[in-house]
Structure 1
């Protein structure tokens, strides 16, 4: 397939009849197991909690994108109501800035929040999620571990 035809198929202007034959095998099944009892993971950079956590609504995804192309995966997880930890330490600074801008727009549009956890690591939380700070509010200055 020529590059113009590939670009047209990618834009959705023409049907890409070759893609179904190239990417799907008759012996492939959707619920394939790896042999370790774990289901196939589509992207090793995305880690999501177990099915039990999914049933109770306690899932957090961690994503370490390589480029701006991975922003779509972040958006899909966040749109499904999953809090996402985005680790941008492996990215080029210009692409990392684009991902942060995308994440800020995503959280604004879906009424969530974005919080910097560490250098180039961000937590995106949906509207129904509350982040609890580990410091106790109103703790006296001469607290339990005061060494002075």
Structure 2
């Protein structure tokens, strides 16, 4: 009996317990087997890793556009609620003072950033704020960006 065996017997360890047991499961893809199921499962995993938000993939989403014309900074929380609900917001700052406009833009830029969204100027006092799943495109936006009027 070797010294290792005597130590095992004192500790009450079975000498046959040295074998390694693999506890990991094989990759089982939900919804069936095959390459298509594996690819779909991989795409769903990539979506989950891209965002830490819970998103129902099978839900029928209704994209909504909300038009707001705030006059006070107190209106910022209701606008932020719309952005958090994944609604596109068109923000018209014509009736707000310059100071309030700056504060609103700063605050809503942070809300858009936190939601992986974007904010873009579409006119002198008008901005569009979109969630991560909405893209903005068009000739007018390219022109505004090239002329330096872009936010």
Q: Provide TM-score, normalisation by structure 1.
A: 0.52
Q: Distance in 2 between matches of 1:123 and 1:92?
A: 19
Residue 100 of structure 2 corresponds to which residue in structure 1? 95
Residue 70 of structure 2: which of 61, 65, 68 is its match? 65
**What secondary structure is seen at the aligned counterpart in 1 of 2:138?**
coil
Q: Distance in 2 between matches of 1:83 and 1:90?
A: 20
Q: Distance in 1 between matches of 2:134 and 2:67?
A: 16
Task: Tell me the CA shift for residue 58 of structure 1.
Answer: 2.9
Are 1:81 and 2:86 counterparts? yes
More helix by share: 2
Q: Distance in 1 between matches of 2:114 and 2:137?
A: 23
**What secondary structure is seen at the aligned counterpart in 1 of 2:127?**
strand
The aligned length equals 82
Are 1:109 and 2:114 counterparts? yes
CA RMSD of aligned residues (A): 1.7
Q: Distance in 1 between matches of 2:116 and 2:61?
A: 22
Larger radius of gyration: 2
**What secondary structure is seen at the aligned counterpart in 2 of 1:131?**
coil
**What secondary structure is seen at the aligned counterpart in 2 of 1:69?**
helix
Task: Tell me the CA shift for residue 108 of structure 1.
Answer: 0.8
Moved beyond 3 Å, runs of 4+: none
Residue 118 of structure 1 corresponds to which residue in structure 2? 123
Task: Tell me the CA shift for residue 96 of structure 1.
Answer: 0.6
Q: Provide TM-score, normalisation by structure 2.
A: 0.51
Q: Distance in 2 between matches of 1:129 and 1:58?
A: 9
Q: Distance in 2 between matches of 1:56 and 1:82?
A: 11
